[in-house]
Structure 1
Amino acid sequence: MSQWIDAVAADEVPQDDVIGVQVQGLDIALYGVNGEIYATDNLCTHGHARLCDGFLEGHEIECPLHQGKIDVRNGQPTCQPITEPVRTYPVMIEGGRVFLQID
């Protein structure tokens, strides 16, 4: 059953940048894009690099290891060598906190 888990204060997620957080033992990347917050697994599906160490441009995070890119809105790869999608998590902002829906 899915539940909403308190991850971090919303103002800790920088605009136009990415941070890594631990939520219930999961390594999660949170992205601030155009006033929205998106969440994915923090591990690239290609080279096992942490996405929070990558470069965020618009809705795309560039992996710091091999420069593949992923759309943070849906986890889909947008540039080789990444071919496998990254897991995404629904995000809810309430009371100045970021909540993630974790299965």
Structure 2
Amino acid sequence: MRAITSIGDNLSKWVNVCKLNQLKKGEMLDFDYENKKILLANLDGKIYASDRICTHADADLSTGILTEEGVTCPLHLSTFNLKTGVPENLPAEIPLKIYNVKIEQNEIYIEVD
């Protein structure tokens, strides 16, 4: 894992997570970085990254169900939109944190702060 620091309004790092071919369409990958538990998902060839823990009941979303709408929590079935982090249905009400993603030379990076 490599981290590249970028200077802007705040201090952030682009962290190398995996190779693009390690995350196939319709798959999810769990990733820990420092104290962050992160979920990567490949929805129709687009890579998304969010917090991995459900904001309602602390369930690990990497064990949930990935659909075209987002990721569904395995515990109480709230579905989170992976573009916005917003829960699409109850009982979850608090959005997930979304991370910026970039792909360079077939490597997936996420921006963490």
1:22-101 correspondence runs (5 A): 22-101=32-111
Q: Give the fraction of aligned pairs with identical amino acids, expressed as a percent.
A: 28
Of the two, which has the highest radius of gyration? 2
Task: State how far apart, in whole Å, the 2-side matches of 1:11 and 1:5 are.
Answer: 17
- Secondary structure of the structure 1 residue equivalent to 2:88: strand
8 Å CA contact 1:45, 1:86 repeated in 2: yes
Task: State how far apart, in whole Å, the 1-side matches of 2:33 and 2:69 are.
Answer: 22
8 Å CA contact 2:87, 2:93 repeated in 1: yes
Residue 5 (structure 1) shift? 1.1
Residue type at the aligned position of 1:50: D
Structure-2-length-normalised TM-score: 0.86
> Structure 1, unaligned stretches of length 5 or more?
none
8 Å CA contact 1:33, 1:59 repeated in 2: no
8 Å CA contact 2:50, 2:98 repeated in 1: yes
Cα gap change, 1:93 to 1:51, in 2 (>3 Å):
same
CA RMSD between the two structures: 1.1
Superposed structure 1 runs of 4+ greater than 6 Å apart: none
Task: Answer yes or no: is 1:9 the counterpart of 2:19.
Answer: yes
**Which structure's relative contact order is higher, taking Cα pairs within 8 Å and 6+ residues apart?**
1
Greater mean alpha carbon deviation, residues 55-64 or residues 9-18: 9-18
**Count of residue correspondences:** 103
8 Å CA contact 1:7, 1:23 repeated in 2: no
Residue 17 (structure 1) shift? 2.3
Residue type at the aligned position of 1:100: I
